[in-house]
Structure 1
Amino acid sequence: MFFGTDGFALKSLEELHRAMQDGSMVSELSVVVPTPKPHPCLVAKYAKQHNLPISVWPLPKEKQNDCCDFGVVASFGHLIPSRIINGFPLGMLNIHGSILPRWRGAAPVVHAVMNGDAETGVTIMRIKPHHFDVGDIVAQESIAIDPHISAVQLTDRLAGMGANLLVRCISDLHYHLDRCTPQPSHGVTLAPKIDAKLSHIDWTGLNAAQIYNRWRATCHLFKLQTFFHGANVKLNAVEPPTTEPFAEMLQNLVDVRPGRIVVDRTRNLLFVRCQEDQWVAIRHVTLHRRPVMSALDFSNGYLREAKKLSMSGKIGRNSVIDFF
């Protein structure tokens, strides 16, 4: 019985379905999905398309376990009660997108990217009741994280790895279950659901690498944002941190506090001063509900106007071209 929702889970369901069609390892396969809100999830769509039995969570008592030998969970988001876990003769396995115990929780890939981790991976673990991601480790596999990969791209890679590792475990299930080990008590980190508050950039509290990593981790969820003279500005494309000097651009700039903007007209980039005397590069922005603007468009349309207002005394000179 497979419990899942999204694209990460779908890769494992596809492999299990293929094993059933091949007549190897799996003889029957059913699917459990959450109530559609408002549309069916990817796992539900796949199950319907391939005529797999579907149950909607929470399971009615007469449907619980459905005479299956064991359960598989991936990106399900609901705590499985002990009566269901214990109802499977072989228990339940979970495919998790991290090297547990690092990044227990709902968003392990996003947190790994956002924190600049050098490696991550997938863990197959036994599910225990009452808590998420604390079960014994059945198998693990790790990979290096490309410093420029997005959370979406990394999730896709891990989904394939997790599906392959799951099939290898199931091919000799008793062997792997007999050799599973408890998770280490050290190195535990938590990966809770992502809060939209993370979209707001604090130029005094983050350096260039941290801002770039946050953009890589969350750009599929929301745009990073800041304010320009009270107007909301969304950062559509953040560039990798650069050590390339542009001292000549700063020669006449007295105020270089965090949030200060410098326009690189040659490369069509906005550089914004952040923590640790670093500058982060931004290629495209959106102001209010206007179309996406390049750095030069933003400079020509808004920075120049702000500078004129400052020179005329209508706004404070120190806030001429600042992000806040």
Structure 2
Amino acid sequence: MVNYLLIFSMFKRKCLIVNNLRRCQSSLSIVFYGSDAFSLSSLEKLSHHLVDSPSSELTINRLEVVTKNDRNHVSQFAKNKGLMVHHWPCRLKPDTYDLGVVVSFGQLIDSPSIRNCKYGMINVHPSLLPKYRGSTPIQRAVLNGDQETGVSVVTIEPKKFDIGKILSQERVAISESTKSIDLYHNLAEIGSSLLMKCLTNIEYYLSNSTEQSTDGVSYATKLKKCDGYIDWETMTSCTIDKIYRAYDSFIPIYCDWINGSPLILMEMVDYRDTVKLDWDKLERLVFGCIHHDKPGLVMFNPRLNGICFKCKDNKWVTFRQLALKNYGKMTALDFKNGFVSKQKQPLIISNNRK
């Protein structure tokens, strides 16, 4: 008597093995769009899967790069690896690549190029879309005090940024002391790993992708120089801490010096440590009294080895390096000796932009 249940079970197992083999033997030709250090992490991982160094899960039989110029991270890496580099703008010919991969590229890709890839194009974006569509999602998450962010892999759609279907997402916690620059490198690594997971079974992830929610849509616009401006009279110490952690390493953090020149503020001492100090005692020692409601008051703290500024909330923030036009970068002690000590005390700097 034929055991149909056994036959069916064996057939099902054989199909599973075949599917796994197909998955393991996935081979793709990929065109990569990128330009900066964030995108470089994904390109590096892709290059590890080229046919000359095959993987058990994925083989890339061809990898070419589209970038904006010859001077960026991606272009230099591609040339060192012997990858073909195309300069933007360029339009892809039909049936040239299986898939386009876009990471931190910042340009809208034309519809024909997207259609001319067998599987279209996908994008690695450092936020939990639809939150923070745009070019600065990491900085906005830190500035807004979010407790988590993440990475999304989505399809590329024509004419608009970051609106595609979601293939996969991964959440990442943000601590109250996290800096954007550290989160930037962390998300680049996580995003590249999430990308590779999707590529190992691209047909599955594309067929199971989901539309972005229409709720919770927000935008992260390009940074402007003025975003790094500190106004002691209107900003609390907590706000300045968020601005510094969000924007440092991306745009200058600065205030007005007494002559109106921008004073660049660097190496901020952790705000969570400085609030614990007895600032009233130090004020009495330096000035002979406590100056309440004097935002912009400046003094040197030898214990922290930093220049300190009083904020709107009567709390202090401290910086260990500063820079003025024509003088370059200085330690806090050098700035104190060369500039602060030569002014009439108490020294209070104000917003010259009113």
TM-score, normalised relative to structure 1: 0.87
Partner of 2:281 in structure 1?
Answer: 248
**CA drift at 1:83:** 1.5
**3-state secondary structure, aligned to 1:236:** strand
In structure 1, distance between residues paired with 2:317 and 2:194: 39
In structure 1, distance between residues paired with 2:93 and 2:75: 18
In structure 1, distance between residues paired with 2:182 and 2:254: 22
**3-state secondary structure, aligned to 1:275:** coil
Given the superposition, is the C-alpha separation of residues 260 and 49 from structure 1 closer, same or farther in structure 2, using an over 3 Å criterion?
Answer: same
**3-state secondary structure, aligned to 1:19:** coil
Aligned counterpart for 2:266 among listed residues 216, 233, 236: 236
Moved more, 138-147 or 215-224: 215-224
Does residue 82 of structure 2 align to residue 51 of structure 1? yes
Moved more, 87-96 or 148-157: 148-157
**3-state secondary structure, aligned to 1:272:** strand
Aligned counterpart for 1:138 among listed residues 153, 167, 185: 167
Given the superposition, is the C-alpha separation of residues 120 and 13 from structure 1 closer, same or farther in structure 2, using an over 3 Å criterion?
Answer: same
Amino acid corresponding to residue 84 of structure 2 in structure 1: P
Moved more, 178-187 or 275-284: 275-284
Amino acid corresponding to residue 303 of structure 1 in structure 2: V
Partner of 1:165 in structure 2?
Answer: 194
Query: How far does the alpha carbon of each residue in 1:111-158 deviate from its partner, in whole angstroms, 9 at most, with x for none?
Result: 222333222211100111111001111100111124334322221111
Query: How far does the alpha carbon of each residue in 1:192-229 deviate from its partner, in whole angstroms, 9 at most, with x for none?
Result: 21111122211233222222222223222333111232
Given the superposition, is the C-alpha separation of residues 288 and 255 from structure 1 closer, same or farther in structure 2, using an over 3 Å criterion?
Answer: farther
Query: How far does the alpha carbon of each residue in 1:221-276 deviate from its partner, in whole angstroms, 9 at most, with x for none?
Result: 33311123214321122122132231223441345322122332333233212233
**3-state secondary structure, aligned to 1:220:** coil
Given the superposition, is the C-alpha separation of residues 134 and 247 from structure 1 closer, same or farther in structure 2, using an over 3 Å criterion?
Answer: same
Given the superposition, is the C-alpha separation of residues 170 and 232 from structure 1 closer, same or farther in structure 2, using an over 3 Å criterion?
Answer: closer
Query: How far does the alpha carbon of each residue in 1:63-83 deviate from its partner, in whole angstroms, 9 at most, with x for none?
Result: 435621121100111101112
Partner of 2:26 in structure 1?
Answer: none
In structure 2, distance between residues paired with 1:32 and 1:66: 17
Q: CA RMSD in A?
A: 2.2
Partner of 1:314 in structure 2?
Answer: none
Residue pairs, 1:198-213, within 5 angstroms: 198-213=227-242
Residue pairs, 1:1-324, within 5 angstroms: 1-21=31-51, 22=54, 24-34=58-68, 36=69, 39-60=70-91, 63-64=92-93, 67-230=96-259, 231-241=261-271, 242-244=274-276, 245-251=278-284, 252-254=289-291, 256-307=293-344, 320-324=347-351
Q: Is the 8 A contact 1:261 1:323 kept in 2?
A: no
In structure 2, distance between residues paired with 1:54 and 1:226: 42
5+ residue gaps in structure 1?
309-318
Amino acid corresponding to residue 71 of structure 2 in structure 1: P
User: How many aligned residue pairs are there?
Assistant: 309
Given the superposition, is the C-alpha separation of residues 31 and 214 from structure 1 closer, same or farther in structure 2, using an over 3 Å criterion?
Answer: same
Q: Is the 8 A contact 1:25 1:170 kept in 2?
A: no
Q: Is the 8 A contact 1:306 1:321 kept in 2?
A: no
Given the superposition, is the C-alpha separation of residues 174 and 66 from structure 1 closer, same or farther in structure 2, using an over 3 Å criterion?
Answer: closer
Given the superposition, is the C-alpha separation of residues 189 and 205 from structure 1 closer, same or farther in structure 2, using an over 3 Å criterion?
Answer: farther
Amino acid corresponding to residue 334 of structure 2 in structure 1: D
Moved more, 293-302 or 43-52: 293-302
In structure 2, distance between residues paired with 1:254 and 1:161: 48
Query: How far does the alpha carbon of each residue in 1:277-300 deviate from its partner, in whole angstroms, 9 at most, with x for none?
Result: 332122222233224333343333
Q: Is the 8 A contact 2:32 2:63 kept in 1?
A: yes
Amino acid corresponding to residue 260 of structure 1 in structure 2: L
**CA drift at 1:50:** 1.9
5+ residue gaps in structure 2?
1-30
Q: Over alpha carbons, which structure has the higher Rg?
A: 2
Amino acid corresponding to residue 321 of structure 1 in structure 2: I
Moved more, 174-183 or 143-152: 143-152
How much identity, in percent, do the aligned residues show? 32
Q: Is the 8 A contact 2:294 2:348 kept in 1?
A: no
**CA drift at 1:305:** 2.2
In structure 2, distance between residues paired with 1:307 and 1:32: 57
**CA drift at 1:88:** 1.8
Amino acid corresponding to residue 33 of structure 1 in structure 2: T
Q: Is the 8 A contact 1:303 1:321 kept in 2?
A: no
Amino acid corresponding to residue 201 of structure 1 in structure 2: I
Amino acid corresponding to residue 310 of structure 2 in structure 1: R
